[in-house]
A and B are shown apart, each in its own frame.
Chain A
Amino acid sequence: MLNFSDLLPYTDQLLKGLWVTVELTVYATLGGVAIGTAGAAGRHYGGNLLRGMIGMYVELIRNTPFIVQLFFIFFGLPALGIKLSAWEAGLIAMLINLGAYSTEIIRAGLAATPKGQVEAAKVLGLSPQQAFFRVVLIPAFEKIYPALTSQCIIVMLGSAVVSQISVMDLTYAANLIQSRNFRSFEVYLVVAAMYLVLAILMRQAFDALGRYLFRHRRSS
């Protein structure tokens, strides 16, 4: 029979693990979207060489599993003399991963910007940088915001894998607890539910931010 009471003594571990997952997700989301914005700008405005390099980065990451990227960074890079803690390796893997996906997503948003908007900024005398940040960026984000939200949540859920290099995240806590109390199914059920709640909260946070960023769309 299912028995959840054996989990209670481990509440602390679970909360600590949850915090690590939340922390990684926040950093990865902020950094990953920043990388994606830079990557998309480079792909949209850059020269052939830059565009080709960014394209290779995006395809390489999107066509290999996150866990292999993680292992390559954590186990492979020290061979080149780059020593990383598990936490650092996990975060870097998440950043690189989300960076690639959001590059592709945001690029689509930039491509969908009406040409007239850019021309209007140009004839008003705005520099390309000013036009990008003041005129192009927010409407571009608006177009791809749902896709970007989903991708950030996918990266949060995917972060469960960092437990495999001993980052003490939520999944690591689950593994630890089930090895002590032998209630593996119950533990994973509870932790899965915690991830689900996290995913729902994250979507709501994104929606709230979207309502602020795109307030011009609010019907009044």
Chain B
Amino acid sequence: MIEFSNWDLLRNLLLAARWTVLLSLTAFIGGGLVGLLLTAMRLTRRRALHWFVRLYVEVFQGTPLLMQLFLVFFGLSLMGFDISAWAAAAIALTLFTSAFLTEIWRGCIDTLPKGQWEASRCLGLSFTQTLKNIILPQAIRVALAPTVGFSVQVIKGTALASIIGFVELTKAGTMLNNATFEPFKIFAMVALIYFLLCYPLSLVSQRLEKKFNGAR
């Protein structure tokens, strides 16, 4: 058995945590872009598009993230793509994130009073003008706190990539545990690193929410 000092353990975990961060960023940015697209589809007047977005959100919010990972991983290889665990995780987490962000943003747009749309129309603003000048500036303020809050869910979600073999923080933890048999220490360290990644974001989200609610 190889001897690991506490510092060795921590260093290895921190190195692996870089992949957690990278995967989180990829999923969050990708999910944000897809989410924007879906939100835009919801704002059009095409019924079919509304239904598509509803179904999309329902499916990704109604099934386990783990299943989504498996389906992307095995589904793409079934279609003949040679897909890495990294790519599968990035795609699945992007889809997952986009569904939740779309739903969060829908809620934010819906909280704006109908009067805002009506007043804009009476002033002769077009749909896109209303959206750009009236609705979005207000909606973004409301959306900021829950969006930052959801980034915490994305970071935690990346832990599941370990199950399809992507070596990020959690996978590194299980590997080190297999080598050292010190599960208590190792998983406490893993949890601590996740906490240090997530808690600041949670705090920012709470601050933003207070600030916004206070300003209202």
Name A residues whose Cβ lies closer than 8 Å to a Cβ of B: 59-60, 62-69, 71-72, 75-80, 153, 157-161, 163-164, 171, 174, 178, 184-185, 188-189, 191-193, 195-196, 199-200
Contacts and interface: CB of A to CB of B under 8 A. Distances in A.
B159 A76 contact: no
Main SS at interface, chain A: helix
A79 B67 contact: no
Interface in B148-206: 152, 155-157, 159-160, 162-163, 170, 173-174, 177, 182-184, 186-188, 190-191, 194-195, 198-199, 202
B64 A192 contact: yes
A68 B191 contact: yes
Given A63-B152, A195-B62, A76 B183 contact: yes
21 contacts: A60-B195, A62-B202, A63-B156, A67-B159, A67-B160, A72-B183, A72-B191, A76-B188, A79-B182, A157-B63, A157-B64, A159-B64, A161-B160, A171-B66, A178-B74, A185-B71, A191-B67, A192-B68, A196-B59, A196-B62, A200-B62
A175 to B, nearest CB: 9
B215 interface: no
A185 B59 CA distance: 16
A11 B65 CA distance: 23
A200 B157 CA distance: 22
B122 interface: no
A157 B96 CA distance: 13
B86 interface: no
A67 B199 contact: no
B78 interface: yes
Contacts of A60: 191, 195
A158 B184 contact: no
B195 A64 contact: yes
A199 B62 contact: yes
B183 A59 contact: no
Contacts, number: 122
Nearest to A67: B159
Contact of B75 (A77, A158, A185, A195): A185
Contact of A161 (B63, B66, B187, B195): B66
B194 A64 contact: yes
Interface residues of B, number: 40
B145 to A, nearest CB: 14
> Which 10 interchain pairs have the tightest Cβ spacing?
A75-B183, A65-B159, A160-B64, A63-B198, A76-B184, A192-B67, A65-B156, A79-B184, A72-B187, A199-B62
B202 A59 contact: yes
A199 B63 contact: yes
Contacts of A171: 64, 66-67
Given A65-B194, A188-B71, A196-B63, A77 B173 contact: no
A101 B131 CA distance: 35
B63 A195 contact: yes
B173 A68 contact: yes
A177 to B, nearest CB: 12
B70 interface: yes
A66 B159 CA distance: 9
B78 A63 contact: no
